[in-house]
Amino acid sequence: MSFLESKLEVDKREKILYDFLVNSPRISGHQEGGKIATPQSIPWIDPILLNEGYSFVRHNFAVVIFSMVASMWIGLSGKPVSKLQFRRYYPENVGGSVFLEALRKNLVWLTQNIMNQEGPAYKQTAYIYKLHTMFAEPTKSTGKKLEFPPSDLKFPVEYGELIEALQKDLKRVDTSLVPEEFQTWDPPIHFSQLNLALIQFGAIATLFLYPRVCGLREEQGNGLRGYFHIWAVIGRLLGLEDQFNLALFPDRELFSKIFTNTALPNIKRADESVVFLWDYIASKVPLVRVKSLLFVSLNVVNFEGACLWERMSWRDKLSYFLLRSLPIAIYKSNIFRVLANYSTWAILSLIFWLNGIKM
């Protein structure tokens, strides 16, 4: 059976989905005073599978980064994560530096072996594990209470027009199963198991659900299995419980249902403050524009996006065609894939350098 096929029994799938949407938001993602585990203490860890995952990343570097940037861009801008960005950086630098630093950390995880406890991947994981205390108690950690959205932040008229277009295009999206913390700026638990699980989900779901759209050939399923294993280990080390560790349950129907009940409703429920973050973060990535990336996202999940298309300028549409054509070229040509891998690394290095972030 192919790795890209559904494998779970219906009852098992529905239980995992229920736990993810209903129970995970109620359990803290960080245990106060807890100590990070070691990779060797994880009973199901497979070093050989990890190495296959690292090889997969090297072979498909551009594809991995393309899918990850899109997922992170939407995920980092949603409620209540966006509130944390305002708390930490407003008004100096909202969102952009968080996005780039998160991307840099992902690169470390995907290129350095997590089994080495003296290596950068494990040390970074240990640091982030401690950092989650700040996410769990944002007011205490920052020492300030922030009105949200800030009263002095004025939004352009086009933000409201974009929201109106998205709501029309996503009219048929059901938001009834959206987790509570996606519906408020002040959830009962600021940093839950759901938060941890969604970070992981964003890194693996797009490649798993839409491999060809991302430029990935299906015969690389074994490498994708190793890529999932990397994220399963990272999730466990960061404190993600196995029942919410989606990388341990690679099932297309399960992933599709989670995507339908998290990502799409998150976009539909966006307000001006979320669009503000989307806009700021998109400005950090060459060729990417807010409307073009949103239009790609809608097309991938079979929404026409007619209202959004009417709001797009010629620059937005040019960006859209570039974003769609690059994965197609990577899928069809091994030579282009190799060139894209090296070019992506060079572009990322330049972006990090321009923003004062060390690789």
**pLDDT tens, the chain, 359 aa long:** 566 666 778 888 889 888 888 888 888 777 666 678 889 999 999 999 999 999 999 999 999 988 888 777 777 656 555 555 555 555 555 555 667 788 888 899 999 999 999 999 999 998 888 877 666 655 454 445 556 666 677 888 898 999 999 888 888 887 776 766 666 666 666 678 888 888 888 889 888 888 888 888 766 667 899 999 999 999 999 988 999 999 998 888 899 888 887 777 778 878 887 888 788 777 777 777 889 888 888 887 777 889 999 999 999 999 999 888 888 899 889 899 999 999 999 988 888 887 777 76
What's the CA gap between 309 and 319, in Å, rounded? 12
* Residue 28 forms part of a structural domain: no
* Residue 44 forms part of a structural domain: yes
The alpha-carbon radius of gyration of the chain (Å, integer) is 19
* Residue 21 forms part of a structural domain: no
* Residue 2 forms part of a structural domain: no
* Residue 284 forms part of a structural domain: yes
* Residue 25 forms part of a structural domain: no
* Residue 268 forms part of a structural domain: yes
Domain tally for the chain? 1
Per the structure, the complete domain to which residue 67 belongs is given by 37-142+157-354
Q: Which helix (H) or strand (E) holds 195?
A: helix 193-209
* Residue 16 forms part of a structural domain: no
What's the CA gap between 266 and 113, in Å, rounded? 33
* Amino acid identity for residue 110 in this structure: L
Tell me how long the chain is: 359
Work out the angle between the directed axes of helices 290-300 and 272-282 (0-180°, nearest 10). 100
